[in-house]
Structure 1
Amino acid sequence: MLDAPLAYEPVWRDMQAFTDAAGADTPDEFWFLAHEPVFTQGTNGRPEHVLAPGDIPIAPSDRGGQVTYHGPGQLMGYVLADVRRLGMGIRSLVEGLELAVIETLDGYGIMARARRDAPGVYVPAAGDAKIASLGLRVRRGRCYHGLALNVDLDLEPFTRINPCGYQGLAMARIVDLAGPIAMDQVAADLAPAICRRLGLPRPPLPEPRLAPAPAMG
C-alpha cells in the first residue's frame, strides 16, 4: 500500500486546503504515505545547510525546522488535528508524537528516546542516530505536517545536507535495527499509539491508505 511514493508539493497543498476548509466539527485525520525523493526546507531553514543536493529537488515548506530528506522507504505520518479541541499546546503535541514513535519502536525491540534540545526520536544504541524527525505547522487552531519515520529508505541523501541543521548528524532506520518490516505494518502499529498519546479515539483497523486515512476525530 505504501510503496507508491507521492510528490511532496501536492500533498502539502492538500494539507493546507484541508486545514483552511475545516470547521469546528471537522474530524481529525492521519495521512500515512511515502514521498518521492525531495529535500524540504522548513520555515527556519538556512541555505548553507543544503550542501550538495545533486539531482534531488529542494522544496520549500511551511512546517517548522530546518532541512530534511524524504524518500521511498520513509513513513510519513501527517496529523491534521484541531489542537484547541485536543487541549494541547505545540510542545505537548510534539512530545505526544515522539512518545508514539518511541512506543512503536519498543514493540520492535528498539530502545529510543526523545531529546529536549532537538525534536525527534533518537537511538542510543546506534550512537544516538536520529530515526524520526518532526515538524508541525499550526494555523487557524489546527495543526498539519507531522513526523517522518525511517523504515527502509536509502540514507545516503542525508549526507548531502546538515539534517535538521546539525552537521554530521547520523541517521538510523528500522530495518538495520530490527530486521525487515513492511511500511504498512509500521503505519498500523503507529496509528493507535498516536491516538493514545494525543487522546484521540482509537482508529479503525483496516490497512492504512496511501492517501488520506479514515477520519478519527
Structure 2
Amino acid sequence: MNSGVLPPIRVRQLGRVDYRPTWQAMNDFSAARNGDTPDELWCCEHPPTYTLGQAGKPEHRLHDNGIALIQIDRGGQITYHGPGQVVIYLLVDLNRRHLKVKDFVWRIEQAIIDLLAEHGLVSRRVDGAPGVYVDRNDGTVAKIAALGLRIRRGCSTHGLSLNVDMDLLPFSAINPCGYAGMAVTQTRDLGLALQPADAAAALAGELVKQLEKA
C-alpha cells in the first residue's frame, strides 16, 4: 500500500453455509487479492462435515457414520464441523502485518482464550497441539477450539472452530486433530450462556484486537 496505512479488517457474517463453496470462495479471494485488499474474517457455521488436512491420515476416521469427508488444503489432521460450532476463516496478509506464522497462531489462540475469560472460563494452550483447551473437574483436558491454516505467498486461508452449542457425538467417530482419545467440549456444557451468532461476533472482535496489535 502506498500510504503505509492498513485498511480496516472486514468482518463478514455468512450464516450457515455449505463447506465446499465456502472453501472455493476463500481460494478465489486469496488468488485475487493484492497489496491493497483489506484482510477479512468470515464467520459461519457448516452443516455436518469432516475435513481432512492435506497431510492428514484417513485412518483417523474411525468409522463411517454417513457424514461427508472432504480432503482439503489446510494443515492438520481430521476435524468435524457442524451446526452450533463457530467457524471463523482468517483471510490475512501476514507479510503486510509483519506477522510470523507462530505469532499469528498465538494471536488466534489468545483471542479465543480472552473471549472465554470474559465469560469466566479459564482455558489454555497445550504444547505441541494447536488449539485451545480446558481442564475439567475430573482432571482430564478437553479441546474446545481447533485451528487449521494454509499460508500461501504470505497470506492465510482457513482458520478456527469454537464449539459452542452443538452435537458433539460426531467427534467420537474420529481422532480429533489426529489425537486418539482426545476429549472435546463446548461452551454450553461448561455453563456459558452463549449463542453461536453472539460468540462469533464477539470472537471476531477479539481477533481484530489481536491482529491490529503492533
Q: TM-score, normalised by structure 1?
A: 0.88
Superposed CA deviations along residues 6-57 of structure 1, whole A, max 9, x for unmatched, are 1111100000000000000000000000001010000121011011131100
* Structure 1 residues 31-180: aligned runs within 5 Å: 31-125=42-136, 127-180=140-193
What one-letter code is carried by the residue in structure 1 that aligns with 2:36? D
Superposition misfits of 4+ residues, deviation over 3 angstroms: none
Inter-partner Cα distance in structure 1 for 2:47 and 2:163: 14
Inter-partner Cα distance in structure 1 for 2:126 and 2:205: 23
Out of 15, 31, 35, the position equivalent to 2:26 is 15
Q: TM-score, normalised by structure 2?
A: 0.89
Out of 36, 41, 55, the position equivalent to 1:30 is 41
Segments of 5+ residues of structure 1 without an aligned counterpart are 202-217
Inter-partner Cα distance in structure 2 for 1:200 and 1:21: 26
Identity %: 44
Out of 188, 191, 206, the position equivalent to 2:204 is 191
Superposed CA deviations along residues 179-208 of structure 1, whole A, max 9, x for unmatched, are 33211211121122111212269xxxxxxx
C-alpha deviation, 1:125, in angstroms: 2.7
Q: Which structure carries more relative contact order (alpha carbon 8 Å, separation 6+)?
A: 1
Classify the secondary structure of the residue corresponding to 1:62.
coil
When residues 29 and 176 of structure 1 are mapped into structure 2, their CA distance, relative to the original with a 3 A threshold, is: same
Segments of 5+ residues of structure 2 without an aligned counterpart are 1-12
Classify the secondary structure of the residue corresponding to 1:33.
strand
Inter-partner Cα distance in structure 1 for 2:75 and 2:136: 28
Inter-partner Cα distance in structure 1 for 2:76 and 2:146: 10
Inter-partner Cα distance in structure 2 for 1:97 and 1:53: 32
